[in-house]
Amino acid sequence: MPKLEEIVQQLEETGYRNTASRREVIAAVLSQRGHFAIDDICQQVRWAGRATVFRTMKLLQDTSVVCRVLLENGNLHYRLSSIGHHHHLVCVECGGVQDMEDCVVAEMLTRLANQTSYAIEGHWLEFYGRCGDCRVAKPELQAV
Amino acid sequence: MPKLEEIVQQLEETGYRNTASRREVIAAVLSQRGHFAIDDICQQVRWAGRATVFRTMKLLQDTSVVCRVLLENGNLHYRLSSIGHHHHLVCVECGGVQDMEDCVVAEMLTRLANQTSYAIEGHWLEFYGRCGDCRVAKPELQAV
DNA sequence: GTGTTTATTGAGACGAAGTATCAGTTAGTT
DNA sequence: AACTAACTGATACTTCGTCTCAATAAACAC
Ligand SMILES: [Mn+2]
Ligand SMILES: [Mn+2]
Ligand SMILES: [Zn+2]
Ligand SMILES: [Zn+2]
């Protein structure tokens, strides 16, 4: 979990400038718990403009500081990420997210490469369910 | 691949009314090739309003007449679907889509149920790559 | 420090996607 | 024919994200 200074420095080494707005957005992101929408950052930020929030979020995606979480309703959220490529287990009740560090489909990629003529370049995978706590709280609903 | 009359009849049996607008939207959907956006339907339709197109598309999703295709850029498209649960292999160059009838992660679900406290209720999985034809046309780009 | 260059900023316009409202219409039923 | 609940569509609205562009401020060289 990198700190503000580390992130800024890494950006500087890649040629990005160390600006006050950028720092404010990154600080707001680092203060988040769980997953959050871009709009959450926009509201938490004082002077940084909306466009800058979007621009900075894209930078943080590219540098793997945050990962994207596709909610079941289609909304796109973000989340601090200390690991590389991974997938999510999202609780549809409490919104809790669990990282799955082992990529389930990695082993599938070579199989796909053989069975089809496609060259696989990427994939999107999210799991939805109800976490243990929520199942205890409302046991009447059970997965099929 | 169900025909218009079959779809309408199935909807009627579920309590939905057989209306002219609904038929027009469904007919437009059935005329599509490959994947399409809702806006494509809105433009192809004469009298049916935009709200009705969205409403009817939701019906067609629920009855598995169409499936959703999440494009790499985040756009949501639709596609006629004759099969049940499946996933997609999307060519990022030509937009071609190939159905993957075997669900790769099905076997993973029981493993997840054991390893975590989550009750898995659903998942989203899409693959992106370049199809055989596009690879032949522009062989310089190769997947890693 | 001063000046130059170039990336960056933010206000605001814009567009796409989807939802909410609601008075008027229509399908199915009696 | 009358009734009623479902449906429609125009329109307003929200949310998400991009684009533009004049103004600003890093970084760097002197
Ligand atoms: Mn994550
Ligand atoms: Mn499909
Ligand atoms: Zn993966
Ligand atoms: Zn599946």
Per-residue pLDDT reduced to its tens digit, B107-132 = 888 888 888 999 999 999 999 999 99
* Residue A16 near residue A59, CB atoms below 8 Å: yes
Ligand nearest to the CA of A90: 1
DSSP B80-115: E--SSS-EEEEETTT--EEEE-S-TTHHHHHHHHHH
**A136 φ/ψ angles, rounded to the nearest 5 degrees:** -70, -40
A91 in the same domain as A44: no
User: Tell me, what's the pLDDT at B59?
Assistant: 97
CB contact under 8 A, B118 and A70: no
Q: How many Å from the CA of B18 to C1' of C27?
A: 7
| Residue whose tokens read 């706590």 | A133
Q: How far is CA B126 from the centre of its chain?
A: 11
A61 in the same domain as A14: yes
A126 in the same domain as A110: yes
Provide the domain count of chain A.
2
**A34 φ/ψ angles, rounded to the nearest 5 degrees:** 70, -155
- Say what the alpha-carbon torsion angle A100, A106, A108, A112 is, to the nearest 10 degrees: 140
* Closest partner CB to B118 (pick from A117, A124, A129): A129
* Angle, helix A4-13 to helix A20-30, in steps of 10 degrees: 130
CB contact under 8 A, A121 and B128: yes
* Residue A99 near residue B119, CB atoms below 8 Å: no
* Closest partner CB to A127 (pick from B74, B120, B142): B120
A108 in B contact zone (CB under 8 Å): yes
| End position of a domain, from candidates A82, A106, A125 | A82
Strand D nucleotides in reach of protein CB atoms, 7 A cut-off: 6-11, 15-20, 25-27
* Residue A42 near residue A78, CB atoms below 8 Å: no
A9 in the same domain as A28: yes
The footprint of strand C (CB < 7 Å) covers A 15-17, 19, 21-22, 47-52, 55-56, 74; B 12, 17-20, 37-39, 50-51, 54, 58, 75-76
| End position of a domain, from candidates B57, B82, B107 | B82
Alpha helix positions (H), chain A: 4-13, 20-30, 38-44, 50-62, 106-115, 132-137
- Total CB pairs under 8 A between chain A and B: 106
**B125 φ/ψ angles, rounded to the nearest 5 degrees:** -145, 125
Name A79's bridge partners. Answer: A67
* Residue A6 near residue A21, CB atoms below 8 Å: no
A59 in the same domain as A104: no
- Say what the alpha-carbon torsion angle A49, A50, A52, A56 is, to the nearest 10 degrees: 130
* Closest partner CB to B118 (pick from A76, A91, A118): A91
CB contact under 8 A, B143 and A124: no
* Residue A123 near residue B87, CB atoms below 8 Å: no
Residue A40 carries which side chain, given as an amino acid letter?
D
User: Tell me, what's the pLDDT at B113?
Assistant: 84
A12 in the same domain as A75: yes
Tokens of A114: 């053989």
Q: How far apart are CA A47 and CA A31, in angstroms?
A: 17
Residue A56: domain span: 1-82
Binned at pLDDT 50, 70 and 90, residue A2 comes out as: confident
Nearest nucleic acid nucleotide to A75, CA to C1' distance? D16
Best mean pLDDT range from A28-37, A76-85, A101-110: A28-37
B117 in the same domain as B47: no
A62 in the same domain as A7: yes
Binned at pLDDT 50, 70 and 90, residue A142 comes out as: low
User: Tell me, what's the pLDDT at A25?
Assistant: 98
Instruction: Spell out the per-residue pLDDT of chain B, length 144, in tens.
Output: 579 999 999 999 999 999 999 999 999 999 999 999 999 999 999 999 999 999 999 999 999 999 999 999 899 999 999 888 899 999 998 999 999 988 888 888 888 888 899 999 999 999 999 999 999 987 765 544
A113 in the same domain as A96: yes
A103 in the same domain as A131: yes
| End position of a domain, from candidates B82, B98, B118 | B82
